[in-house]
Structures are given as C-alpha cells and as structure tokens.
Amino acid sequence: MINRFCKRPLWECNATLVRVAQGQEPADVVIRHATLVDVCTRELVDDVDVAIAAGRVAYVGMTEPESGEAHTAEHCIGPETRVIDATGLFLSPGFMDGHMHVESAMVGVGEYARAVVPHGTTGIYMDPHEMANVAGLKGVSVMVDDARRVPLKAMFTTPSCVPAVPGFEDTGSSIDAADVAETMGWDSVVALGEMMNFPGVLAADDNTLGEIDATLRNDKCVTGHYSVPERDRGLNAYIASGVSACHESVSAADVTTKLRLGMYAQLREGSAWHNLTDLAPAIVDHDIDTRLCCLVSDDNHPHTIVGDGHLDRILRLAVSLGIDAVTAIQMVTINTATCFGVQADMGSVAPGKCADLVLLRDLTDFEATLVMIDGDVVAHDGKADFDVEPFAYPDWLTHTMNLGETIDESTFTIPAVTADGSPIPDGHVAVRAMGVNPGQTITKDLTLEAPVANGEITADKDTDLLKVFVFERHHATGKHAAGFVHGFGIHGALAQTVAHDAHNLLVMGDNDADMALAANTLAECGGGEVAVADGKVLGLVRLPVAGLMSDERVERVSDDVSVIEQAWSDMGCTMPSPFMTMGGMSLACIPELRLTDRGYVNCLTFQFEPLVVE
C-alpha cells in the first residue's frame, strides 16, 4: 500500500539519504547520545546518534555489539545541521493510535492534533463513524479538510456501519459497499473502520461482505468489532471474512484467542472503557509473542487528554500493570504500523523510515520533551509548536437538530399498558431495564419492578430505576422510544446528542420536568451534553458541529466537561466518564440490551423487545 502520509515518498529522496548516510551530504538534523528504544529488537541501545534528511532517517550510529567500536553521526553534521543533544533521554518512534474516534474528544481534528502531539502522538487511525452517522461522507470530507491543516498524521478508516445495525435505528445518513469502494480511492483513507455488523458478516450479507471486499481489493486493512463472548465458530468465520484487527476484547481469554487465530488484538483504555487492567494478564501471565498486540484509546473525552494525556497515559498504565516498557512501546509503534501495512515507512527508528520521533525523559511517566513528525520539531516540553485557527464549518453541519416535535413534560409519559394494549393496574409492573457497569461497554438485560400510578409507568429513584428516551433528531420524524436504566444513581435529568452510533437525542432522568428542560436546552443550542436538577441547568457542553463537536479550544471544552462531571457527582453518580457510558446506551451492536429511537434491541438475538415483561 502506498503511504501518502509522509513528507516525501522514499523513492523521491533515497539518493539524498544514501549520500547523507555516508557523509557526502550534511543532514538536516542530528540527534546525539540518545538511548534508543529499538522496537525492531525489543531492546534499549545506549549512546545512539540519528541523522535525518528529507523528513526521513538517513543514518543510525551505535556501538557494535561484538567489537565495541563506536559509530557516531559526526560525519553527517554540516554548518547548517541542527544538532540536538539527547543525553539522558530515550529516543522512541512516534506513537500511533490504531483505533480511535476524534469526535469523542468533542473537538475537530485540528484541535485534537494540538492536544495530543505534545504527548508523543504522531499518527492516529481515526474512524469518523460518529460524523458519518449524522452527516454521511459529506461530513467526513469536512473532517479530512480540517486534518490537512496540521502535522499530525490523521489516517482515516472509512466508517463501515452507518447505521451500526441496519433496521434497528434511524441515522442521519447511510454508507454502503459502493460508498466504501469510492473512499478507497481517497488519499486520506487507509482502511475500513470497525466492522460492528458482525451478524451481517456471519450471515454472509452481500453489502457487508461487499464493504470488506472493496477494502481488500485495494490492499487495505479491515478493522473489526467482535463484541460477543464467543470464541469459536463465529470468531473464526469473522476473521476468515478478512477482518484482521479488533478492539472489543473484554477478557484476557478474548485477547489470547484472537492472537492465536492471527488477529491483531487492540487493547483498549479510553476515558470510560477501562479494559486494560482485565486484558494485561494475557501478556503478563503468559510467555507469548506480542507482535500482534496494539494499545488503543478508542474514545477519549477532552478532559482526559488535557489532564492525563493520550497514548502516554496508556503506556503508563501498561507498565504499572507489569507490561515491559519496550514491549508497550512496540504496541503503539511498530505493531500498529505493521497492522496497517505501513511498516516500510513508519513505526521504527531505522534508515529510510519517516523521522516521526519522540524524546522521552523516562520509560515510566513517558513524558515527551520533544516530538518530531517527518523530521520537523512539532512540539517540545508539553506544548505544540504549531497553532490552528478555528475551522470554518459549513452552515449545514452546525444545524443538525431536527426533532420534528415539541417536547414538554407530557412527552415523557410512559402509558401503563402491555404490548397488546391491555391496561396495567396501579402498583408495580415488571419492566426491562439496561444495567450499566462503570468502565465497561457491556450492559445487562435486567427485569426490574417499576411503579405504576394513574395509568403511567414511572421512574423510581429509591431503586435507581431511571427513565430513558431516544428521539430521532435528523429527519424531523417525531419518532421516539422509551425504556429504563439501572446503575447511574442520579437525581435529576441528563441529555446528550452524543449517543452512539446514530447520535439521536438521548434523555435520562428520574422526573419528567427535568427531562423536558434537558431535552429543550440541547434543541436550542444545537446539541451537546447537559445536566439538570430541580429545574436548574447545572452543566452544559455546547456541541453545535453535528451535535458532536465544539468549535472552541480543547481546553475550554475540557473545562465545560469538568463542570458537567461535577454536576454528575453532585447528582449522585460515582462512575468514571458517565456521559460516555450513557452515550453507549443506544449502541445496538454491543450486548446485551440497548434502546434506539425504534425501541429496545436485544443485542444477542437482534430482535426488538417489549418494555413490559409479560
């Protein structure tokens, strides 16, 4: 696969590199006396020099292992060469996130780059399926334009599942095999985004396999999303279709089985989905080859990036869990590059490779002192050396709230009737409820008792049984559905348009008045996230770009998120990143029970389920 994310292709500059390596021509930059994190051999090499020209590594000088003869890059230094003394520092390839969604950070690609590059991230493999569900490929192309403004290598993976599971939700747009085939010709596209429609794969659905086939015909990677706890026939069939990587492991056994079957296991640690602690034993407790292991973030909230970092944060956790530091770095460098077929250009510090490099103070905190992309210094001491002006989003992308109905308190009435329309007497009735767990994507299909009074089924704060509504917001259909959730423990109401993957308007609460205020607050501001209690707005994150992203600085958005997270806490919730957990309640491709604008979806059998349990 041709890599279009380098300053210059190797065949245009190899003559220069040949001359620089031999001292016949001076290098642009020389890094001296670094301890090299050699991801090719999984070792640390002391006192290494690296010469850079034309945006690539021309020469790596080190002491010979047997003779002890020291080789330096002094012969590559000319009058105009910039020399960087890296004594006491570790030189690593730049970090690459093999699966993530920029939209989860609630800012555009330009702002995302400004936030993560100082943490050592030089490349991201981004799946913009949030944007695609709202605005289709037209919206994705806007993100591509934004990405062109920054040095971060933003490599796009075409959203494969828009909608996530056809027939179970209403989205703003759709993508089919013909659309995927078209994008495989885009310079920005390197792979197919996570194939969430594993039922379609297992059923050998023509369109689903058509998307995979269009990707494979273009010699590109198919990334996966196999979220069911099944590790035999289904997983084998899924991999046999051409899917080569998956980030949806929730147990060490999931990781081990995928590795044994030749699949890249992308170990996830995001703002809400805290999986690495459960997955690390697959590596730490067993003597296995880790070349098919990658570390990925998937979804990061802005306050996580601003406060804790990006891949450096995950590396710190990996090492604290017992994973060797060099092995962990391999999982965000050479392993990721190999997964996507760009190892000839990226992922290691070696002659001919792109000079995407990071200097680290140590291999515990992974603090980056200097970051280079294609040989250019783009960040140092935790600050980006580039800035981005606010991106000019088109008007059609900042007006996406089309509810088609007026929402008031009465909208949130749940009639006390059975599926066949029979009235339910006052008292209690058994209802289905989604059970959520902190730090996990999986929900439980619970049967709980809900109060019935005056012909209505109501919430019950005392038992932590909250109402949930999903409103279609793209085509003004006025369609909505109701359900219940257990596990948040809040008083008041919360609403958001970040509701994976259709991103309809999701409202949750213990009383109808606060739910109505929350819904209407977002309808008026163009989308986002809001917390309401006792008739007052406690926190609001305005996300007018597709109802997903802000046009503000990431630090400002982070501050707004901090306020709303404090509101969550004040309302009684103790889970990490609860808005992200809430946003997954309508994601109809992850077990067990989800709610879309069409109703409850059983994500094991892929059938609609009634609210009232007979």
Q: pLDDT tens digits for 303-339? A: 899 999 999 999 999 999 999 999 999 999 999 999 9
Continuous segment of H or E residues that includes residue 600:
strand 599-602
Which carries the bigger pLDDT value, residue 2 or residue 522?
Answer: 522
Rounded (to 5) percent helix, strand, coil in the chain: 30, 30, 45
Binned at pLDDT 50, 70 and 90, residue 376 comes out as very high
Q: What is the pLDDT of residues 111-161, one digit of tens each?
A: 999 999 999 999 999 999 999 999 999 999 999 999 999 999 999 999 999
Binned at pLDDT 50, 70 and 90, residue 579 comes out as confident
Model pLDDT, residue 318: 98
Would you call 380 helix, strand, or coil by DSSP?
strand
Question: How far apart are alpha carbons 305 and 307 in whole angstroms?
Answer: 6
pLDDT at 409 over 80: yes
Q: Which amino acid belongs to residue 14?
A: N
**Both tokens assigned to 519:** 């819904």
- The mean per-residue pLDDT over the stretch 576-597 comes to 88
Question: How far apart are alpha carbons 561 and 538 in whole angstroms?
Answer: 11
User: Class for domain 92-384, per CATH?
Assistant: alpha beta
Residue-averaged pLDDT of the chain: 95
Q: What is the pLDDT of residues 474-493, one digit of tens each?
A: 999 999 999 999 999 999 99
pLDDT at 575 over 90: no
Q: What is the pLDDT of residues 275-301, one digit of tens each?
A: 999 999 999 999 999 999 999 999 898
Query: Are 157 and 190 a contacting pair, CB within 8 Å?
Result: yes
Helix 252-260 vs helix 233-240: crossing angle, to nearest 10 = 50
- DSSP state, residue 109: H
Model pLDDT, residue 410: 97
Model pLDDT, residue 442: 83
- Please state the domain extents for the chain: 92-384, 395-609
**SS in 3 state form for 387-443?**
CCCCCCCCHHHCCCCCCCCCCCHHHHCCECECCCCCECCCEEEEEEEEECCCCCCCC
pLDDT at 416 over 70: yes
Model pLDDT, residue 273: 81
Tally Cβ neighbours within 10 Å of residue 67.
Answer: 7
pLDDT at 237 over 70: yes
Tally Cβ neighbours within 10 Å of residue 229.
Answer: 12
**Both tokens assigned to 2:** 């041709």
pLDDT at 439 over 70: no
